[in-house]
Amino acid sequence: MEPVTQAAPSTRTTVRRLPERGNYDRARIDAVLDEGLVCHVGFVTGDGTPAVVPTTYARIDDHLVVHGSPASRMLRSLKDGVDVCVVVTLLDGMVLARSTFHHSMNYRSVVVYGRATEITDPADKRAALDRLVEHLVPGRTEHARGPNDKELKSTLVLRLPLDEASAKVRTGPPVDDAEDMELPVWAGVLPVGVAVGQAVSDGASGTDTPVPEHVAGWRRGPVVVAE
Amino acid sequence: MEPVTQAAPSTRTTVRRLPERGNYDRARIDAVLDEGLVCHVGFVTGDGTPAVVPTTYARIDDHLVVHGSPASRMLRSLKDGVDVCVVVTLLDGMVLARSTFHHSMNYRSVVVYGRATEITDPADKRAALDRLVEHLVPGRTEHARGPNDKELKSTLVLRLPLDEASAKVRTGPPVDDAEDMELPVWAGVLPVGVAVGQAVSDGASGTDTPVPEHVAGWRRGPVVVAE
């Protein structure tokens, strides 16, 4: 459990459940955002019901950026300025206690509330699209062909300020009740993370391009090897 | 891209963006739900703004179950019968195309819409709590102490029917434009999955309990080893 190092930037940003796990420090928030691969975007649809859409994202300084087709309902809603809630969740471990009641997960998550705006300036838009690829696969934009004007026009890019963001973190071993400590039950943490397999070429190139280092060396988060 | 094998069970369940990726087959939906570790629960708060909360879950037949403290705002909202949107997202691969525009992810996701109800019957509640642990760590409930009456009373368990569920899936290599095929750029898929580390005992047991097989042998999803 992490100390609260800073005040929450807004009421809705305040971590309610288990507030001792809450954290409003930007460096910690940025670290979670920069490690995640996917965010879940929550918004309220026109008929008042909730929607949640998983999508890729990237952080650029004090904003998150998301992108996609202008036909996306999610992007169209966000572009119209509706309230949005974006969550990035990283799983770090299964926490196995002596009682089922105290089972838990070690995790780091970030919640961002706010309203998104469109990035219309072509240079900013191009930079954001590059960053979206670099966030997922660092080094990739040096190799792949960048967006042409037609692709740029057919992509909607939005940004969301990080003014209202909070992190929630659980780390460490299980916390069992005193009367359970002598039970003959193994208790501890099973670390989990992002596993990476062998890159699979699509086999469609004219020449047999070797797997480049930015692909072969790709890792995400604390290295966890499956033995 | 997957064929649509069945009609969508409701309008809001219909996959809108890239409908060729949509699927309403329960076996496929169940497979995604049974593999995931965390879901993201979206709902509309009392002041009309969206909230998204990551949490563990399990599937029991035709329902998802979630649980937690009765003090949880999310659970209290859901218990009151608000509309909810639950998403489970599994990442399978980074899709690296010759153009940045055609970069993508291979994934399997499920969205469930509906309204949750509380499980109040003590036997059903106990079974749901067992299932929540078994979903995360199969075999665990044989070892760990099950919930006592006090723990049962201090846990809220809700279930959400799977009547309005849909899956969305992307598989396979990148799809590049014809004019990019001769670019000297490696293109293909980098498989990703759930990595498992060495179990770490909390070292607090009276005896040195060995790591049991349900912990040492824990795996999730298609096995991806980090070389």
The pair of three-digit structure tokens given for residue A111, joined into one six-digit string: 């919640």
pLDDT at A44 (0 to 100): 97
Cα–Cα distances in angstroms (integers) from residue B112 to residues A113, A197, B5, B161, B171, in the given order? 23, 30, 18, 8, 21
Model pTM? Answer: 0.94
Q: What is the DSSP string of A140-202?
A: GGGTSBPP-HHHHHT-EEEEEESSEEEEEEE-SS----GGGTTSS---EEEEEEEEE---EE-
* Domain-embedded: residue B52: yes
How many separate domains does chain A show?
Answer: 1
pLDDT at A5 (0 to 100): 45
Q: Provide the pairing of β-strand A83-96 with A63-68.
A: unpaired
* Domain-embedded: residue B220: no
Query: Which residues on chain B are in Cβ contact (under 8 Å) with A74?
Result: 17
pLDDT at B207 (0 to 100): 60
* Domain-embedded: residue A223: no
pLDDT in tens, A76-108: 999 999 999 999 999 999 999 999 999 999 999
Residue B178 in contact with partner chain A when CB distance is under 8 A: no
CATH of the domain at A181: 2.30.110.10
CA–centroid distance for A218 within its chain: 17
Residue A210 in contact with partner chain B when CB distance is under 8 A: yes
Backbone angles phi, psi at B7, to 5 degrees: -70, 150
Q: State the Cα–Cα distance between residues B111 and B106, nearest whole angstrom.
A: 17
Give the residue from chain B lying closest to A84, CA to CA: B50
| Regions in chain B scoring below 50 on pLDDT | 1-5, 226-227
pLDDT at A226 (0 to 100): 47
pLDDT at B206 (0 to 100): 58
Query: Which residues on chain A are in Cβ contact (under 8 Å) with B191?
Result: 196-200
Question: Chain B, 119-158: which have a CB under 8 Å from a chain A CB?
Answer: 129-130, 133, 136-137, 140-141, 143-148, 151, 155
pLDDT at A227 (0 to 100): 39
Query: Which residues on chain A are in Cβ contact (under 8 Å) with B16?
Result: 73
The whole-chain average pLDDT of chain A stands at 92
- Within 8 A by CB and 6+ apart from B19, the residues are B4
pLDDT at A7 (0 to 100): 67
* Domain-embedded: residue A4: no
pLDDT at A53 (0 to 100): 97
Q: Looking at the predicted structure, is the pLDDT value of residue A65 above 70?
A: yes
Q: Looking at the predicted structure, is the pLDDT value of residue A160 above 90?
A: yes
* Domain-embedded: residue B172: yes
Q: Looking at the predicted structure, is the pLDDT value of residue A50 above 90?
A: yes
Q: Do A186 and B145 touch (CB under 8 A)?
A: no
* Domain-embedded: residue A8: no
Give the residue from chain B lying closest to A209, CA to CA: B186
Residue A51 in contact with partner chain B when CB distance is under 8 A: yes
Q: Do B72 and A17 touch (CB under 8 A)?
A: yes
pLDDT in tens, B69-104: 999 999 999 999 999 999 999 999 999 999 999 999
Residue with tokens 């909202």: B77
* Domain-embedded: residue A222: no
Tell which wins on pLDDT, A2 or B198.
Answer: B198
Residue B35 in contact with partner chain A when CB distance is under 8 A: no
* Domain-embedded: residue A1: no
Residue B46 in contact with partner chain A when CB distance is under 8 A: no
pLDDT in tens, A188-198: 999 999 999 99
Q: Do A193 and B197 touch (CB under 8 A)?
A: yes
- How deeply is A181 buried, as exposed, middle or buried, from its count of CB atoms within 10 A (0-12, 13-18, 19+)? middle
The pair of three-digit structure tokens given for residue A176, joined into one six-digit string: 């069992």
Dmax over Cα atoms in chain A, in whole Å? 67
Which residue among B111, B187, B200 places its CB closest to the CB of A188? B200
Tell which wins on pLDDT, A149 or B209.
Answer: A149
pLDDT at A8 (0 to 100): 75
Q: Do A136 and B103 touch (CB under 8 A)?
A: yes
Q: What is the DSSP string of A19-66?
A: GGGEE--HHHHHHHHHH-S-EEEEEE-TTS-EEEEEE--EEETTEEEE
Give me the total of CB pairs closer than 8 Å, taking one residue from chain A and one from chain B: 333
Residues of the domain holding A150: 19-216
Question: Chain A, 99-118: which have a CB under 8 Å from a chain B CB?
Answer: 99-101, 103, 105, 107, 109, 111, 113
Q: Do B195 and A200 touch (CB under 8 A)?
A: no
